[in-house]
Amino acid sequence: MPAFGDPPNYSTPRTLGLALTSILGSLAHFTLGALDYEHVSRYLGLAVMLLAGLLLVYGVLTLIRYAEAITSMQDPHARTPMYNTPHETLTYRVGVGLNALAACSAVAWAVGGELPLWHLGAGVVNVWAAYLAWLTRPVGEG
């Protein structure tokens, strides 16, 4: 548990970076999936687009949590506790999992698609986001 007075986990610039890179990675997979859809398996394409949609939702929700944490730090009458929330552990695990899956799918698309460097670039964004998600894990995890 963080020391009293430390900023909450969601209010750090790392969380903002995680949200923005997850959104960027998801948009890259949507775009590349639409451009390179005919050259890879239809089912792989649909699965990756679904994964990109989940990653977009994750990024937007993380961005909302960041904004809520920033604004609640200035709230003199906070209504909810900012530490040891049950979704903190799940949030970082989902972030690592979704971004790692997206990075693996980017490698698969790079092998079978016509835009390998672009797919690998999107995979690098996902690897960075997975690393940021790993760094946002609560104290005492891992």
What digits encode the pLDDT tens for the residues 102-113? 999 999 888 888
For 6-16, how does the pLDDT look when each residue is reduced to its tens digit (9 = 90+)? 566 777 888 89
Q: How confident is the model at residue 43 (pLDDT cuts 50, 70, 90)?
A: confident
State residue 91's pLDDT score.
82
Is the pLDDT confidence value at 63 over 70?
yes
pTM value is 0.85
Select the more confidently predicted residue: 79 or 114.
Answer: 114
Mean predicted confidence (pLDDT) in 114-124: 92
Average pLDDT of every residue of the chain: 83
pLDDT at 54 over 90: yes
Domain ranges of the chain: 13-136
Using DSSP's 3-state secondary structure scheme, residue 139 falls into: coil
